[in-house]
């Protein structure tokens, strides 16, 4: 999946594989291997390629390629226009809230199908929101790493995750 995202962004910028390799600090053959899926880029390589193409969705695709991640990455290949992403994120949010409220209304005694539906809705929400953030970062030239650091700091401060807030 990440290879497709790299290729589409490279072609969007009308770059050859050698030109992207030079910009990202890697070889043409590595770019080819990444794009064909014969090799998965490291986090560092994905970040370099994302920066070279001004395409934060590449970093998002790398994150989603982790085998431990259960989330769908199909949203990356959809319409990435920020307005579309806003509408999709809003719709997914509404569906997730309604599903969680249905579970909360019968907490401890909700039917299994109601809980399963809520799980499905929450898992739909996460990649949609990630795709929206990637789209907005691209549209408004925002630094996705900086946004991620601020988000983590907020979660640490609220006690939702353990760790230290980076200075």
Specify the CATH number for the domain of residue 46: 1.10.260.40
| Residue 66 vs residues 1, 123, 165: alpha-carbon distances, Å | 11, 15, 24
| Residue 47: domain span | 1-69
The total of structural domains in the chain comes to 1
Q: Residue 78 has what pLDDT?
A: 56
Q: Residue 65 has what pLDDT?
A: 66
Which of 80, 96, 85, 93 has its CA nearest to residue 12? 80
Burial 50-83 (b: 16+ CB within 10 A, else e): bbbbebbbbbbbbbbbeeeeebebebbeeebeee
Q: Give domain status of residue 61, yes or no.
A: yes
Q: Residue 133 has what pLDDT?
A: 79
Point out the residues of the chain with pLDDT beneath 70.
Answer: 64-80, 161, 163-167
Q: Residue 79 has what pLDDT?
A: 61
The Cα 134–Cα 111 span in angstroms is 36
Q: Give domain status of residue 7, yes or no.
A: yes
Q: Residue 25 has what pLDDT?
A: 95
Q: Give domain status of residue 53, yes or no.
A: yes
Q: Give domain status of residue 65, yes or no.
A: yes
Q: Residue 72 has what pLDDT?
A: 42
Q: Give domain status of residue 108, yes or no.
A: no
Residue with tokens 């490279």: 10
């Amino acid at each position: 999946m990440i290879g497709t995202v790299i290729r589409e962004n490279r072609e969007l910028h009308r770059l050859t594989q050698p030109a992207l390799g030079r910009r990202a600090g890697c070889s043409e053959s590595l770019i080819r291997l990444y794009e064909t899926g014969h090799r998965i880029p490291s986090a560092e390589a994905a970040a370099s390629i994302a920066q070279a193409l001004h395409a934060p969705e590449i970093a998002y695709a790398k994150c989603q390629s982790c085998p431990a991640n259960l989330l769908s990455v199909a949203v990356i290949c959809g319409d990435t226009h920020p307005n579309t992403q806003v509408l999709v994120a809003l719709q997914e949010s509404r569906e997730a809230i309604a599903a969680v409220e249905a579970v909360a209304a019968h907490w401890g005694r909700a039917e299994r199908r109601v809980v399963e539906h809520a799980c499905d809705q929450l898992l739909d929400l996460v990649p949609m929101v990630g795709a929206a953030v990637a789209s907005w970062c691209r549209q408004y030239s925002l630094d996705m790493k900086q946004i991620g650091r601020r988000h983590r700091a907020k979660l640490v401060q609220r006690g939702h995750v353990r760790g230290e807030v980076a200075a």
